[in-house]
Amino acid sequence: MGRRPKLLIVVPSGLAPLWEPWLREGPFDTLVHERDAYRREGIDYVLSFRPPHGFLATLPNLKTVFSLGAGIDAFLADPALPKTVPLVRFVDPQLSTEMAQYVVMHILLQHRSQREFDTAQAEHRWAQRLLARKTSDTRIGILGLGEIGTMAAERLRDLGFAVAGWSRSAKTVAGVESFAGEEGFAPFLARSDYLVCLLPLTDETRGILNAKTFALLPKGAYVINVARGGHLAESELIAALDSGQLSGATLDVFATEPLPPEDPLWAHPKVTVTPHIAAISDPAVAARFVIEGVARAERGERDPYTVDWGRGY
């Protein structure tokens, strides 16, 4: 019988038991970094979210690294990341569904003026009125038409919104207008009453939600950032909200998490803050994804969700 491969869980201390029970049926032995004794040469696979910088480079026989999240920017931030080892990111329709729910909910809260009805209720005031803007005239722009962005675009399209997406390559998604590349950026922004960021964080997309971008949106546009805090220039967002260029923002992700108590975003009247909860990877589903990934790697096949180092996602 051949040697059983070894998978190492590298997550912040104490969190490994979330995944361990689900990995038991995998075709490998599971070990936990900082808890179990192991030889670094013996590790074949790693499952991780934010590995300590430099750590992965100390495992000489690593075959594949599995990310526990859809975004892999925390791996790319490691200057010693071994790029000869494939990095596979987590893709799960359930996660994409929950992300789409978050986006739909926050757009509907604004579109249906729900916050104002909450205030009216608190004042016992009957504030009946028509929708501020027809749904079919309400233009939504999704930055990033990937796994999650496409699902969000389709759900919003099904609700009757005028939806467009911006990506690196042009897309064909029924009922969703496609804009691509640098030349597509300004026309895409000019027609977006709501701008939703669902891009990966890369050298090209860092800081993309900035004053220049906000100025290209229609006056009074609403911004939702559900991708990464590094996409947003926070002080430029606050300036655009205060000038009225933007009517509001919903933010799930921040440059520093947890968001420090003194951060001005907490108390800004036009900002909704949530604590990076738009979607959280389900450990049972993530473990199944890893088990299938290891089986695929052992067969010598390339995983379809392997990160392309050149693109950075």
Residue 2 or 310 having the CB closest to ligand NAP: 310
Q: How far apart are CA 21 and CA 33, in angstroms?
A: 16
Q: Which residue number, 107 or 201, has a Cβ lying nearer to ligand NAP?
A: 201
Residue 206 as a binder of ligand NAP (CB under 6 A): the answer is no
Q: DSSP readout, the chain?
A: -PPPPEEEEE-STT-GGGTHHHHTTSSSEEEETTTS---GGG--EEEESSPPTTSGGG-TT--EEEESSS--HHHHT-TT--TTS-EE----HHHHHHHHHHHHHHHHHHHTTHHHHHHHHHTT-------SS-GGG-EEEEE--SHHHHHHHHHHHHTT-EEEEEESS---BTTEEEEEHHHHHHHHHHT-SEEEE-----TTTTT-BSHHHHHHSPTTEEEEE-S-GGGB-HHHHHHHHHHTSEEEEEES--SSSSPPTT-TTTT-TTEEE--S-S----HHHHHHHHHHHHHHHHTTPPPTTB--TTTT-
Question: Which residues from 109-138 bind ligand NAP, rule CB under 6 A?
Answer: none
Which one of the spans 117-125, 197-205, 242-250, 294-302 is the region binding ligand NAP (CB under 6 A)?
197-205
Identify whether 228 is a catalytic site residue.
yes
Binds ligand NAP by CB under 6 A, chosen from 101, 113, 202, 210: 202
Catalytic residue of the set 50, 168, 206, 276:
276
Among 81, 173, 223, 226, binds ligand NAP (CB under 6 A): 226
- Identify the residue among 43, 76, 99, 195 touching ligand NAP (CB under 6 A): 99
The nearer residue to ligand NAP, 130 or 277, going by C-beta atoms, is 277
278 binds ligand NAP (CB under 6 A): yes
Residue 44's nearest CA partner among 73, 72, 2 is: 2
Choice among 228, 231, 296, 311 that is catalytic: 228
Q: Which stretch binds ligand NAP (CB under 6 A): 34-42, 209-217, 220-228, 291-299?
A: 220-228
Total interface residues for ligand NAP by CB under 6 A: 30
Closer to ligand NAP by CB, 300 or 304: give it.
304
Please pick, from the candidates 87, 217, 227, 287, the single residue that binds ligand NAP as defined by CB under 6 A. 227
Determine, following the binding rule CB under 6 A, whether residue 92 of this chain makes contact with ligand NAP: no
The stretch among 8-16, 166-174, 265-273, 289-297 that binds ligand NAP (CB under 6 A) is 166-174
Q: Is the peptide bond before 51 cis (omega within 30 degrees of 0)?
A: no
Residue 168 falls in the annotated catalytic set: no
Joined together, the tokens standing for residue 17 give 């038991």
**Which residue stretch of 38-46, 112-120, 272-280, 295-303 sits at the interface with ligand NAP (rule: CB under 6 A)?**
272-280
Residues annotated as catalytic (active site), given as ranges: 228, 276
Kindly list the residues in this chain that would bind ligand NAP in the complex (CB under 6 A): 70-71, 91, 95, 99, 144-149, 167-169, 198-202, 204-205, 226-228, 252-253, 276, 278-279, 313
